[in-house]
Each structure stands twice: as C-alpha cells, then as structure tokens.
Chains A and B, each alone.
Chain A
Amino acid sequence: MNIILNGKPAEIAGGTLAATVTELGYGEKRIATAVNGRFVPIREREALQLGEGDRVEILTPRHGG
C-alpha cells in the first residue's frame, strides 16, 4: 500500500498505524503521529487502519526558539 510518509511517497505492508510505525523502524523511538493532518495519540494507533494515499507524519523532539 502506498502512503505519504513525512511528505515523501512510501510503500508499506498496510494495516494499523501502530503496525506501520513498527514496520518503518520507529517502534522504539520517542515520536508523535498524525494522519491526514489530525493528531493520533499513542493509545489510538492500534485502532487506526491506514488507507491508500494517507498522509502520515511521524515527528520527533527538536530544537526550537
């Protein structure tokens, strides 16, 4: 299945957001997620089935002013 991951096309097996996070290698990292512009809390990743063309954002802590 094709999604847009952090602004770039990506091919994933499909399934839940939780499974995708693990598949992509973010499983152990401190991240926050959003799908199609909406925040998806950790507790909801398991229940969220990704669809074709979904825009997934996976963000991490960074410096800021």
Chain B
Amino acid sequence: MARFYGTDLPTALMLGTSLYPSPAVMAEAFRRSGASVATVSIRREAASGTAGEDFWSLIRQLGVRVLPNTAGCHSAREAITTAQMARELFETDWIKLEVIGHTDTLQPDPFALVEAAKVLVADGFKVFPYTTEDLIVAEKLLDAGCEVLMPWGAPIGSGLGLTNIHGLKTLRAQFPEVPMVIDAGLGLPSHAAMAMEMGFDAVLLNTAVAKAGDPAAMAEAFAKALQAGKLARAADPMEPRNMASPSTPLIGKAFLS
C-alpha cells in the first residue's frame, strides 16, 4: 500500500479529471480504475456559470481524495498563489506543484519549483512536486521539505511512456525511502506496469485514459497493469542476462541424430 504524507492510499493510481468526452464517462472511468486520487484545478468562471459547482458536485460523488494542481503556472509566485487559493477551495493541504519552464515540452522549471516548494512547505502544504528525474533537483526538493517526488515519465500528454529508464532507476535507487509517483507521459498500461516493476509507488495519468477510444475500459486496464507491476516487484524478478540459458534440462535427453 502506498503511503503519502502519512496517508495510505488503497491503490497506486492517481487519475486526472480533464479531457473526457463527458462527465458520465469520467465517472465511469474512475469507478473502473479504482483510482485513489483525482487531480483537479481552479479556473476563472463568470458569475452566471455553473461549471465549477457542477464539477465540484461530481468530484464529491467519486469518493476519492482530491489533489489540486498548479497547472499552467510559469513562476513560483503564480504557483504559490494558485496553491493557496486551491487549498481554501478544495479544503486540502495537498498540492501537486507544477511550475512550467518550457511551453512546448511543459518541462518543469526546477529553480522556480524548488523556490515555490520551500514557501509552500513552510506554509503547511503537503507538496507533490512535478519534477524530472534529475537527482540534484530531487535532493533540493527533499531539502525543501517535500516528502514525495513526482518525476515525469515523458512530457505531459505525450503518451511516450518512460523515456529515461536509466535516469528513473537511478532516482529510485538514490532515494529508496521516498514515496515516488510517475507523473505524466504514460500512454499504455504496460508503461504503468513497468513503473511499478521499477519500484515506484504510484502513477498519475490523465490523457492516456481520457483520450482512449473507451476511457473506462482503459482505466480498468491501467488498474490491472498497476496490480501486475506491483505484484511482480514484490515477487523479486530474475536478473536479465545476455546469454541464453536452457530452461528444459539437458540431462536425460535422448540422442536422436
């Protein structure tokens, strides 16, 4: 069971709430995924609008924990203000801290990320920083008081999977006690299974489910992949080897040529 800031989550899936064809499809995807956490955001709305209230009502019906994000923020100041507003709005001190540094890749700005994390931790937030696999940034985030890391698998929405397996393995090995969530870039359940096989504690995804032809079925596929990957990790996988090794015994084989 994955534990984040003292909270045990029953499953290893954190699921986004964007890009679904309809609210009903989103709700069904959540039901079949067994996701423990829903990521959410805050946005402008006209006084006459109902989207905010409708969304909040839907989220409450899902019965999952809410993780607000600071998506779209490009500076520490902007992310801090957004986090503070989200805390009041969603009544949670959990925050998925995103500070975007590059428009095309949506790569996090590590300097602003660490700066914002320091301020938010001091303000009582439980920060889930969206970061890269960079070891030094990870160290700085932990020094800032983050107790969870969320390295990307690949750029947000790309569906490429784990593009730097070596870097992610190194990060996992360097900080074995830190809960880690692979956040962003996953496209297939096999990517999620691999993340769990590598020892990560959870995955956070959105587009891979929401933009599938059948989001609910894909959500269930991810749930099963996560279970398989977690079980495989616990089962202590064999070490790969370069040369063949016969699995059928040679002793007792008939001489037939």
Does the CB pair A61–B81 fall under 8 Å?
no
Per the 8 Å Cβ criterion, residues 25-50 of A in contact with B are 25-26, 29-34, 37-39, 41-42
Alpha-carbon gap, A61 to B51, bound state (A): 8
Is B68 part of the contact surface with A, judged by Cβ < 8 Å? yes
Scan B12-53; emit 1 where CB is below 8 A from any A CB, else 0. 000011111000001000000000000111111111110111
Scan B87-119; emit 1 where CB is below 8 A from any A CB, else 0. 011100000000000000000000000000000
Does the CB pair B42–A26 fall under 8 Å?
no
Residues of B within 8 Å of A, CB-based: how many?
39
What size tier do the contact residues of chain A reach?
20 to 34
Q: Is the interface of B mostly helix, strand, loop or mixed?
A: mixed
Does the CB pair B42–A60 fall under 8 Å?
yes
Does the CB pair A65–B39 fall under 8 Å?
yes
Pull 12 A–B residue pairs with CB atoms less than 8 Å apart, ordered by A.
A29-B47, A31-B89, A32-B88, A38-B81, A58-B47, A59-B43, A60-B89, A61-B56, A62-B41, A62-B43, A63-B18, A64-B39
Beyond A62-B52, A63-B26, A65-B207, 8 extra complex contacts between A and B, CB < 8 Å: A29-B53, A34-B85, A37-B81, A57-B85, A60-B42, A60-B49, A64-B71, A65-B17
